Amino acid sequence: MSTNDVGEKVSKEELLEKDRKYVWHHMSPHNENPMIIESGEGSWVQDIDGNRYLDGMSGLWCVNVGHGRKEIAEAAAAQMMKIAYSTLVQSHIPAIELAAKLNEWLDGEYRIFYSNSGSDANEVAFKIARQYHHQNGKPTKHKFISRHRAYHGNSMGALGATGQAQRKLKYEPLGVGFQHVPPPYCYRCPFGQTKGACKFQCAQAIEDAIVWEGPDSVAGIILEPTITGGGMIVPPDEYLPMVRRICDKYDVLLIVDEVICGFGRSGEKFGHQNYGVKPDIVTMAKGLTSAYSPLSATAVSAELYESFKEKQAESHFRHVNTFGGNPVSCAVALKNIDILEKENLIERSSHIGKEMMRRLESLLDHPHVGDIRAFGSAIGIELVEDQKTKVPATAERVMTIIASCKQRGLLIGKNGDTVPGFANILTLSPPFSTSDDEVAFITDTLVEVFALNNGK
């Protein structure tokens, strides 16, 4: 028996029956027997049967400070008692304080536009980029360059920017004007080159796309510092600075999607800070509140913002959303950032990532492990049928490993499912509060599970 939100006792059978009848699960075939999560503490979640699992993916790459943070709940309650809602057509204290704090975290001065989700934040970025060019004498600049395998959200524009056919096919046509180029995927270089001995054709492909599309038609490029959900594709260090130079050359805005990489996941405050580039627009969500409350933000460089300020009556940004910048969510974000700072969790994220990589190194000898890649504490283990041919592992192999980990109390993810049969990259992205013993639990479990699954 569990207790529901209105204090009634409810059995697992009753809950499952209601779930089967009423709940539409995200991004999955309907599961008749889903795990029903009831509570969480630190890096662990507990289901309704009392089984505990280490949350190796921080939910969906988002619960960066870990579960069960009372101080966040208290900050939310205190704000609700003061005022739970106020529109950002006016202003309110948590939105102001958070925008100032984000400016401390970003390099340079940015204006902060709040929304509700990562998809929203990217939609806002596209609209701002188009309007910016429009009111700067370049109204034909409307297209965006993105990369194959990238994920930028579920709404029509953000899905248009996404480079994964399987997610898009049944919903097209989507937001128009998104052109995709190959990603810097060194393990399977789309240009047939070898890492360390190439001429960065992946960056050159962006310039080529701008030239072919016509520089007068391209508004921006959107990219994650590392492609996370599309398969943990970590670029060479040179890539992002090269992209920045190409953007400058053609007056194309650099939009960096920090929805996953931001707030410490990369081992820096924001992923792009690993490469010393300054984006024109930065989008963020997930780790902004560690998912304790929905909130996203689009940070726009002060230079760009000027053109929205000049002739306000004509040039202001005509975009509003009811919940964006909700005071409770902003208060939650401020407390979340306070925890990240006070507990040095960004350094911790970097440490966890290095430690996991060190402890997983032996897996590189496993016949079905092709590559292991890390960006801070986000890790991808690419599974193959054969190390030489690099044929992606079968779905059955991938699912067996995930199920064996779950049996042992470890939840991990899988990504890269751009084409049927390609969901062959296991992912890890644990909360930064994960202790060294818990890191050992994650890696020991994986090593044990791989040892049991090393056959043909």
Q: Looking at residue 236, what DSSP letter applies? A: P
Residue 37 phi/psi, 5° resolution?
-80, 135
Residues 64-103, mask of contacts with ligand PLP (x by CB under 6 A)? ----------------------------------------
Q: Which one-letter amino acid corresponds to residue 354?
A: K
Nearer to ligand PLP, 427 or 443 (CB): 427
Shortest distance, CB of residue 370 to ligand PLP, whole angstroms? 23
Helix or strand or coil: residue 328?
Answer: helix
Q: Is residue 370 a contact point for ligand PLP (CB under 6 A)?
A: no
Which residue sits closest to ligand PLP, CB atoms considered? 118
CA distance linking residue 171 with residue 233, whole number of Å: 26
Nearer to ligand PLP, 265 or 335 (CB): 265
Q: Is residue 401 a contact point for ligand PLP (CB under 6 A)?
A: no
Which one of residues 163, 229, 264, 380 is an interface residue with ligand PLP (CB under 6 A)?
A: 229
Nearer to ligand PLP, 277 or 285 (CB): 285
Q: Is residue 260 a contact point for ligand PLP (CB under 6 A)?
A: yes
The set of residues, in sequence order, having a beta carbon less than 8 Å from that of 396 and lying 6+ positions away, is none
Task: Single out the segment in contact with ligand PLP by CB under 6 A; choices: 241-249, 252-260, 263-271, 362-370.
Answer: 252-260
Size, binding site for ligand PLP by CB under 6 A: 16
Q: Is residue 94 a contact partner of residue 327, using CB atoms and an 8 Å limit?
A: yes
Q: Is residue 265 a contact partner of residue 378, using CB atoms and an 8 Å limit?
A: yes
Q: Is residue 180 a contact partner of residue 146, using CB atoms and an 8 Å limit?
A: yes
Shortest distance, CB of residue 361 to ligand PLP, whole angstroms? 27
Q: Is residue 229 a contact partner of residue 422, using CB atoms and an 8 Å limit?
A: no
Shortest distance, CB of residue 116 to ligand PLP, whole angstroms? 8
Dihedral over alpha carbons 81, 345, 257, 210 (to 10 degrees)? 160
- Kind and range of the H or E run holding 427: strand 425-428
Interacting positions 282-301 with ligand PLP (CB under 6 A): 285
The candidate with the shortest Cα–Cα distance to 141, out of 75, 220, 64, is 220
Q: Is residue 119 a contact point for ligand PLP (CB under 6 A)?
A: yes
Which one of residues 153, 324, 370, 430 is an interface residue with ligand PLP (CB under 6 A)?
A: 153
Contacts with ligand PLP by CB under 6 A lie at 60, 117-119, 122, 151-154, 224, 228-229, 257, 259-260, 285
